[in-house]
Amino acid sequence: MTEQQFFEQLKANGITLSDGQLQQFRQYHEILVEWNEKMNLTAITDREEVYLKHFYDSITAAFYDSITAAFYVDFTKPLSICDVGAGAGFPSLPIKICFPHLKVSIVDSLNKRITFLHHLADELKLTDVHFYHDRAETFGQNAAHREQYDLVTARAVARLSVLSELCLPLVKTGGHFVAMKGAGAADELEQGEKALKLLGGKKSAEYAFTLPEEESERSVIVVEKTKSTPKKYPRKPGTPNKSPLS
């Protein structure tokens, strides 16, 4: 996906970027490639692939659905967002570039990735962004963050039954958890339904589509937090992955 195609596809889905925002995406790609030579951030570094599989794919959660006449997730609101296991900043930082007013927090278990994200945010002049070096399981038990966010996002981190235990404890009651998934999302949702209910969540929407050009399957699953998560969740580090809720 070329930069022009990226711009046009976003515009067709309700998001118009300024020259300054396009420049931020150019810098993002340059810094990503530069740091990727020193540490393993991504296997995808080709410019057009990064624009499609990282930038565009991250922003799909914010698309406008002409059928329902609504945004998948309305990022035009003044939201506080936590991105769990964001790695090189996906999906939250591409979304932050498109919607600069958002307050974004990222938690990641690898400190060198946090170092990269600090540098990236400084270079892109992003404000209201915070980075935390922590395991999602312990972060979710931290009173300063537990049930404090309007929206929690995660992209390609774990299966939904695991992911919901890492993310829903951070969501305010009345807020939302957004899981960005590839093929097999319907099966994950079916298998993770009991976990969602146990943790205080309920699926409110699901959007299935294909990425342009390569036509690979994608889904955005939106879960509403309808009640407080029981205090024992998330369980200790490693347990959700070893023994998913069912």
Residues making up the annotated binding site are: 85, 90, 136-137, 155
Q: Tell me the binding residues for S-adenosyl-L-methionine.
A: 85, 90, 136-137, 155
Mark 118-150 as b/e (b = at least 16 C-beta within 10 Å). eebbeebebeebebbebbbbebbbeeebbbbbb
Helix (H) or strand (E) holding 92: helix 92-98
* Torsion angle defined by CA atoms of residues 71, 72, 73 and 75, in that order, rounded to the nearest 10 degrees: -40
Mark 44-82 as b/e (b = at least 16 C-beta within 10 Å). eeeeeebbbbbbbbbbbbbbeeeeeeebbbebeeebbbb
CB 138 within 8 Å of CB 117: no
Which residues are within 8 A (CB) of 160 and not within 5 positions of it... i.e. 6 or more apart? 179, 181, 185, 188, 189, 191, 192, 195, 196, 221
